[in-house]
């Protein structure tokens, strides 16, 4: 499970069956005869004859909840379930980066958008025909040695206002259209 901030330590509350002391104020804690070490002194409760001694205990599962509107997209990593890092409008040949979205303006000329050289399962790239001119000046998706839709050839986009996502699956099928 993913967390914002440090991954929490889950509580494992145990009652010690023995606490032995020494002349150096070292306390040895055992549970079932096995030595244990708490995360910190604040994670121990000591009771003598039913009286709690120094009742200081930190939270063992302190996740906290961010306030509404405090976590913005730039604070989240790309490819975490719907977060796309949209780029400025592209007007020339570009090598794409996984997790990014591209507004492609072919109003002046056809443009080649090259897929990343390396890819891992789940990588995504997003392309939108910015000026509604892909039918006149095509967008070519360069495969960069990967297959596209299982084929070893580039993808030509010739549909006005085309908008699509390619997701990488493996070397057999390569990049697949997420939507059709």
pLDDT single digits (tens) 58-95 = 555 556 677 777 776 666 665 455 678 999 999 999 99
Q: How many CA atoms lie within 13 A of 92 on its CB side?
A: 0
- The matching CATH number, chosen from 3.40.50.300, 1.10.3720.10, 2.60.120.640, 2.40.50.140, for 75-177 is 2.60.120.640
Residue 42 is encoded by which pair of tokens? 């604040």
Classify 61 as helix, strand or coil.
coil
- Residue 131 and residue 38: Cα distance in Å, rounded? 62
Q: Which two tokens stand for residue 154?
A: 């580039």
Dihedral of the alpha carbons of 173, 174, 175, 178, in degrees to the nearest 10:
30
The DSSP result for 17-47, as a single string, is SEEEE-TT--EEEEETTEEE--SSGGG--EE
CA distance 141 to 128: 12
Q: What are the residues whose beta carbons fall under 8 Å from the beta carbon of 177, sequence distance 6 or more?
A: 149, 164, 165, 166
Per-chain mean pLDDT for the chain: 82
Question: Cα separation of 49 and 139, whole Å?
Answer: 79
- Within the chain, all domains assigned CATH 2.60.120.640 are found at 75-177
Summarize pLDDT for 5-54 with one digit per residue, the tens.
Answer: 666 666 666 777 666 666 666 677 777 778 877 777 667 777 777 777 76
- pTM for the model stands at 0.57
């Amino acid at each position: 499970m993913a967390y914002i901030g440090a991954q929490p330590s889950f509580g494992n509350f145990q009652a010690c069956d023995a606490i032995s002391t020494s002349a150096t104020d070292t306390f040895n804690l055992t549970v079932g005869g096995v030595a244990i070490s708490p995360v910190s002194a604040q994670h121990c409760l000591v009771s003598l004859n039913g009286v709690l001694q120094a009742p200081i205990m930190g939270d063992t599962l302190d996740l906290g909840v961010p306030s509404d509107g405090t976590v913005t997209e730039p604070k989240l990593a790309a490819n975490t379930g719907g977060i796309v890092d949209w780029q400025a409008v592209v007007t020339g040949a570009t090598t794409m980066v996984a997790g990014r979205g591209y507004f492609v303006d072919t109003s002046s000329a056809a443009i080649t958008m090259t897929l990343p050289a390396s890819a891992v399962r789940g990588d995504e790239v997003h392309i939108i025909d910015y000026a509604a001119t892909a039918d006149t000046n095509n967008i070519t998706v360069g495969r960069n040695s990967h297959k596209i839709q299982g084929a070893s050839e580039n993808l030509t986009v010739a549909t006005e206002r085309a908008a699509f996502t390619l997701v990488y699956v493996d070397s057999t099928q390569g990049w697949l259209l997420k939507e059709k």
